[in-house]
Chain A
């Protein structure tokens, strides 16, 4: 059974066991506009909760990707290298990295969908 969590910096993580898929939320892709490039880590890299692990670029903006959890990168979504606009088409389906979580308890500090919606409302 997978479950999706959100960070205040608009990353999501969909977790299944100790494996998670991290991407940016639909709200974030809207705010950013046309995505032209995704800077991704490599397989085997370690990410640390609260630290940036890459960036999403549009024509005139760039947004750092902040890791919602710590862990090891299992895979970077190579489809995004060829076609970064997939993020605009469906941000939730087109995750950026697949990770193995090192500390499942870090999920407790993230938001569920409802809390995240409220968070976005407050930011508008």
Chain B
């Protein structure tokens, strides 16, 4: 058969087989026991033309319903500039292998170096690796790093205010790696520092994991945390959405030893969960325990400043079972995404993204409370662009969610039967926000049919 991806003509095949001293393609598998051979075609459709492939995807596509996004919970609907996608589709970047041959991979090595530089600026840390798969695995690996650093202590404390999805991944890694994970309880939406101190005093703690903003959107005040944690010889691991780090106090400023988290908020498409981008930064003293790839600057034979993968002796292909981590790639192209996005936005643009998002979120929060349908769950706590509300309407929150969805809007993420986590980014227009408010106002008092009849509520 002929396929557009295979260059072989039957004459080529015949000639190549002859050179190998064989008569048929089957001869190439003479070493495979006959009992193991698949003697039928796969139970799959025959090859498709590009047109039919396209139709297949279009058919699936119409089964998805795009929603105006007021959901966050770790994944944010920020704007993605056209330039980024254009550069990512350069096949020299897209179709390159890992930069093991620096002489013909300076493009990849250079953008990773830029990415590392930018991430250290955002997190306020000294060094960064070339990236991790996503935020959840980055934090789980930070936990392993803390345990490796502590040598004999293998207990890690995680604040109850950390995103529960992160916590689940941490728990999975910890369970199999033999790490004990204990929860620092929350008090009024923030980490209970008094209990943390008791837990630290009990000893054996290798690291403490906290989030900023936390899962409820609250900007916690971590004053004094680093000192207490360091006094117990443990490491402070802090996670934050990368975009927010353009304005909020950084892990470095809080005295963290490791900053690890999700960088999807740097304009990356939501893509139903991935690919995203995990970041991992730390103090220079910990660089040898930092997992993954690291790019460093050096000089070449002609004295030029060039870039190479460095500190490779830490990695799995050399250390095998002694390596800090089993990771052997990074999230290459997504690191390029972050570098190009941050090049376009700069510090000023990133600040504006946060300003517009926060302005929208505070406006929405205030107006939702004014409708009488909602109240803020933590009215005294500062937040950036995400907040938690309690539903006080006469119907159920789940019904409000369904009505919003049918109007083309995702109003947030439900944390409990009557609690909603709401997020506003710079991509939400005033009209969209006002329609949300109107829906809350009307629906909390109305019955379902009379609400659905109104024509002006759809996004």
A interface residue numbers (CB < 8 A to B): 36-37, 39, 52, 55, 57-62, 64
Asked, given contacts A37-B288, A39-B288, whether A61 binds B313 with beta carbons under 8 Å apart, the answer is yes
A60 touching B313, Cβ below 8 Å = yes
Chain A nearest CB: distance from B438 CB in Å?
Answer: 62
Residues of B within 8 A of A64 (CB): 322
List 9 A-B pairs, Cβ < 8 Å.
A37-B311, A39-B288, A55-B319, A60-B313, A60-B318, A61-B313, A62-B314, A62-B319, A64-B322
B interface residue numbers (CB < 8 A to A): 288, 311-314, 318-319, 322
Residues of B within 8 A of A59 (CB): 312-313
B318 touching A62, Cβ below 8 Å = yes
The closest CB in chain A to the CB of B319 belongs to A62
Chain A nearest CB: distance from B297 CB in Å?
Answer: 15
B313 touching A58, Cβ below 8 Å = yes
B312 touching A60, Cβ below 8 Å = yes
Secondary structure class of chain A's binding surface, majority of residues: strand
A55 touching B312, Cβ below 8 Å = no
Q: For the complex, give the distance between the alpha carbons of A64 and B319 in Å.
A: 9
The closest CB in chain B to the CB of A64 belongs to B322
Q: For the complex, give the distance between the alpha carbons of A52 and B312 in Å.
A: 20
The closest CB in chain A to the CB of B315 belongs to A62
Q: For the complex, give the distance between the alpha carbons of A62 and B318 in Å.
A: 7
Q: For the complex, give the distance between the alpha carbons of A58 and B319 in Å.
A: 12
Chain A nearest CB: distance from B323 CB in Å?
Answer: 9
The closest CB in chain B to the CB of A57 belongs to B313
Chain A nearest CB: distance from B80 CB in Å?
Answer: 38
Secondary structure class of chain B's binding surface, majority of residues: helix
Residues of A within 8 A of B322 (CB): 52, 55, 62, 64
The closest CB in chain A to the CB of B289 belongs to A39
The closest CB in chain B to the CB of A60 belongs to B312
Chain B nearest CB: distance from A28 CB in Å?
Answer: 15
Residues of A within 8 A of B319 (CB): 55, 62
Chain B nearest CB: distance from A82 CB in Å?
Answer: 14
The closest CB in chain B to the CB of A42 belongs to B151
Asked, given contacts A36-B313, A37-B313, whether A61 binds B318 with beta carbons under 8 Å apart, the answer is yes
In this complex, the member of B288, B313, B322 whose beta carbon has the largest number of chain A beta carbons within 10 angstroms is B313
Q: For the complex, give the distance between the alpha carbons of A2 and B313 in Å.
A: 34
Residues of A within 8 A of B314 (CB): 57, 62
The closest CB in chain B to the CB of A39 belongs to B288
Chain A nearest CB: distance from B234 CB in Å?
Answer: 16
The 7 A-B pairs with the shortest beta carbon distances in the complex, nearest first, are: A57-B313, A62-B313, A62-B318, A62-B319, A60-B312, A61-B318, A61-B313
Residues of B within 8 A of A60 (CB): 312-313, 318
Residues of B within 8 A of A55 (CB): 319, 322
Residues of A within 8 A of B318 (CB): 60-62
Residues of A within 8 A of B312 (CB): 59-60
Chain A nearest CB: distance from B294 CB in Å?
Answer: 13
Q: For the complex, give the distance between the alpha carbons of A55 and B311 in Å.
A: 13
Q: For the complex, give the distance between the alpha carbons of A60 and B313 in Å.
A: 6
Chain A nearest CB: distance from B299 CB in Å?
Answer: 15
Q: For the complex, give the distance between the alpha carbons of A36 and B288 in Å.
A: 12
Chain B nearest CB: distance from A52 CB in Å?
Answer: 8
Other A-B pairs, 11, CB within 8 Å; known A57-B313, A60-B312: A36-B313, A37-B311, A39-B288, A55-B322, A57-B314, A60-B313, A61-B313, A61-B318, A62-B313, A62-B314, A62-B322
Residues of B within 8 A of A39 (CB): 288
Q: For the complex, give the distance between the alpha carbons of A68 and B319 in Å.
A: 21
Residues of B within 8 A of A37 (CB): 288, 311, 313
Q: For the complex, give the distance between the alpha carbons of A52 and B429 in Å.
A: 60
Chain A nearest CB: distance from B426 CB in Å?
Answer: 44
The closest CB in chain B to the CB of A55 belongs to B322
In this complex, the member of A39, A58, A62, A64 whose beta carbon has the largest number of chain B beta carbons within 10 angstroms is A62
Chain B nearest CB: distance from A76 CB in Å?
Answer: 14
Q: For the complex, give the distance between the alpha carbons of A57 and B319 in Å.
A: 10
Q: For the complex, give the distance between the alpha carbons of A37 and B313 in Å.
A: 9
Q: For the complex, give the distance between the alpha carbons of A39 and B311 in Å.
A: 13
Q: For the complex, give the distance between the alpha carbons of A62 and B313 in Å.
A: 6
Residues of A within 8 A of B288 (CB): 37, 39
Chain B nearest CB: distance from A84 CB in Å?
Answer: 11
Chain A nearest CB: distance from B128 CB in Å?
Answer: 19
Q: For the complex, give the distance between the alpha carbons of A30 and B322 in Å.
A: 23
Residues of B within 8 A of A36 (CB): 313
Q: For the complex, give the distance between the alpha carbons of A16 and B87 in Å.
A: 65
The closest CB in chain A to the CB of B323 belongs to A62
Q: For the complex, give the distance between the alpha carbons of A59 and B313 in Å.
A: 6
Chain B nearest CB: distance from A66 CB in Å?
Answer: 12
Residues of B within 8 A of A61 (CB): 313, 318
Chain A nearest CB: distance from B152 CB in Å?
Answer: 9
The closest CB in chain B to the CB of A58 belongs to B313
